[in-house]
A and B are shown apart, each in its own frame.
Chain A
Amino acid sequence: MKNSPSNDRRRFLLSIARGIGLSAMGALVWSAYVGEVKAAPLILRPPGALKEDEFIKNCIKCGLCVEACPYDTLKLAKPGDNLPMGTPYFTPRTTPCYMCSDVPCVPVCPSGALNEPSVSSYVKAHAKLDINKARMGLAVIDKESCIATWGIQCDACYRACPLMGQAITIEYSKNERTGKHAFLVPIVHADVCTGCGMCEHACVTQKAAIYVLPRALAMGEAGNHYIKGWDPKDEQRLESVNKEVPHEFTKTKLSEKSALDSLNDESGL
């Protein structure tokens, strides 16, 4: 009875079921950990990095970008950093990206997680590395702690910015409190800012009043249905929409008949 075919079959099925059960238990713990550790929304990536969820898929964690970085800006996340282990990141307050014009960290990437075309500009179809096209993050200013907004003269971030006068400009306004001084307040322009973090590194306040956040976190989105009518370029979007979608009136129960018919309709009374 012990070794009957039916028992063999039962044993075989049991061993498979046990394997699946153990795998499911392992998968539960493992996936919980992986899900937790890959969600690091505040991490800043090297220049040319793909969007975070794509980046984390692609990066093979070899550290070639870290070794290529001449300023030791880039670090690989260590166990215990609570960041996706082994992936490269930088902390601008400690060491910002110094925007090397030859962008040594990007071409060495073997996995495609750092995308060369995204940091290249094209002159007559000839690609040339251009660090100004990097979008590592976006500098954000906390007006409460920025001493320039108090009326104290400080333009440390403006001076530190490698795209001075473009990524950060200074806005003048009258200081009503004293009546005879001016506010010189820094403004960040998102369309130029690369997120290198030299402003954050230079900021004089105890905890930086200007700091780099990942762009996905720092920026809102107005949505496609808002069109700037005063901007000819943006208004072109409207024309293309009309071509794609044939213009049709929406029909509801009320608008089936003409407005007059609908008003004169006595059936509902």
Chain B
Amino acid sequence: MKHYKYLLMRRFTQIGILLLYIGANAWGWKILRGDLSASLLMGKVPLADPYAVVQIAVTGATLGMDIILGALIVTLFYGVIGGRAFCSWVCPINMITDTAAWLRRKMRLSEIQKRFYISRSLRYWILGLSLILSAVMGVAAFELISPVSMAHRGAVFGMGMGGGALVVIFLFDLLVHENGWCGYICPLGASYALIGKFSFIRVHHDANKCTDCRDCITVCPEKEVLHMINRSSESVLMGECTNCGRCVDVCKEDALGFSIRSQLKQPKDEE
């Protein structure tokens, strides 16, 4: 069971948060109303997706106080504490892409498939492009096509044809490119990677315990962030790490674990 600790915790959080939103619309629960674009916590605290708010801001719209405040609260939370945790602990698409990645590993598709090159920075280009388009078209451009909000809004308010987008993402991740959506394309994830770059909660690697089994790299959806494995004891500092904790789960030697950033900088000298 130990090897599924963070995975189970994540699924619990993801499904729990989704249920709170669904309950708000279906049964009038007051805990978490709205959707992932903007919501109201306990009927008082506004929350808003910083990326959506920035898109709205560049259209030239006058922003409502609640979404400015909401975006600040969310930015502060992920910026100081969570890092890019939104992607692996909240986003409903994560369950779809994780399933695709798991199936891909089970079916050993990566071994027989010739990988074609997509740059990891493609998502930052899409992020920039979405802001330019929002300004030119006078409407938040990514919000109109976002499969993330489609999935979440679909679950809360009715799916419509949105299910098609989810199937497409699943098949893309399964058959076309490993971790294709979350790891290369999604600009929402890119925005959280930027926000969470300096957060305190980090995965730390202890190279002395490492046996170089590379299980962590196999399961990691953002393999570049684990560049230090078996090389040096340091924490995973790249913003792209989603703090999903899968590497911590699968590490049999306890060479990986969550810790606070400031404490982690010292062990490097002990090596």
Contacts and interface: CB of A to CB of B under 8 A. Distances in A.
B48 A110 contact: yes
B113 interface: no
Contacts of A76: 153, 157-158
Interface stretch (B144-152, B194-202, B249-257, B261-269): B144-152
Interface string A88-130: 0000000000000000000011111100000000000000000
A67 B126 CA distance: 32
Interface string B134-155: 0011111101110001100110
B158 A30 contact: no
Interface in A180-217: none
Contact of B60 (A34, A57, A66, A112): A57
B72 interface: no
A221 interface: no
Interface in A1-58: 19, 22-23, 26-27, 30-31, 33-35, 37-38, 53-54, 56-58
B35 A63 contact: yes
Residue of A19, A27, A63, A75 with highest tally of chain B CB at under 10 A = A63
Given A61-B149, A62-B34, A111 B63 contact: yes
Given A76-B153, A78-B158, A67 B34 contact: yes
A27 B66 contact: no
B46 to A, nearest CB: 6
Interface in A132-174: none
Contacts, number: 146
A21 to B, nearest CB: 11
A33 B52 CA distance: 18
A79 B162 contact: yes
Contacts of A34: 133, 137, 139, 141, 144-145
Contacts of B156: 63
B37 A62 contact: yes
Contact of A64 (B33, B56, B162): B33
A60 interface: yes
Contact of B160 (A35, A58, A78, A108): A78
Nearest to A38: B139
B119 to A, nearest CB: 9
Interface string B35-77: 1011110000010110011001001111111110010000000
B139 A86 contact: no
A58 B52 CA distance: 10
Given A78-B158, A84-B139, A111 B67 contact: yes
A73 to B, nearest CB: 14
Interface-central residue, B39, B46, B64, by most chain A CB under 10 Å: B64
B160 A23 contact: no
Nearest to B29: A67
Interface string A72-87: 0001101111001110
B25 interface: yes
A239 B138 CA distance: 38
B139 A57 contact: yes
A25 to B, nearest CB: 10
B64 A58 contact: yes
B184 to A, nearest CB: 13
Contact of B157 (A19, A35, A60, A63): A63
Contacts of A78: 154, 157-162
B165 interface: yes
B35, B67, B144, B156: residue with the most chain A Cβ atoms closer than 10 Å? B144
Contact of B40 (A64, A66, A81): A64
A67 B33 contact: yes
Contacts of B138: 53, 56-57
A84 B33 CA distance: 22
Contacts of A80: 160-162
Most chain A beta-carbon contacts within 10 A, residue among B139, B149, B153, B158: B139
B35 to A, nearest CB: 5
22 contacts: A33-B145, A38-B137, A57-B139, A57-B140, A58-B56, A60-B67, A61-B35, A63-B157, A64-B38, A78-B158, A79-B154, A81-B160, A85-B145, A85-B150, A86-B143, A86-B153, A110-B34, A110-B48, A110-B70, A111-B56, A111-B64, A112-B65
Interface of A: 19, 22-23, 26-27, 30-31, 33-35, 37-38, 53-54, 56-58, 60-64, 66-67, 75-76, 78-81, 84-86, 108-113
Interface of B: 24-25, 33-35, 37-40, 46, 48-49, 52-53, 56, 59-67, 70, 125-126, 128-129, 132-133, 136-141, 143-145, 149-150, 153-154, 156-162, 164-165
Given A57-B140, A84-B139, 16 more contacts: A26-B126, A31-B136, A58-B56, A58-B61, A58-B64, A60-B67, A61-B153, A62-B37, A66-B157, A78-B154, A78-B157, A78-B158, A80-B160, A86-B143, A110-B38, A111-B64
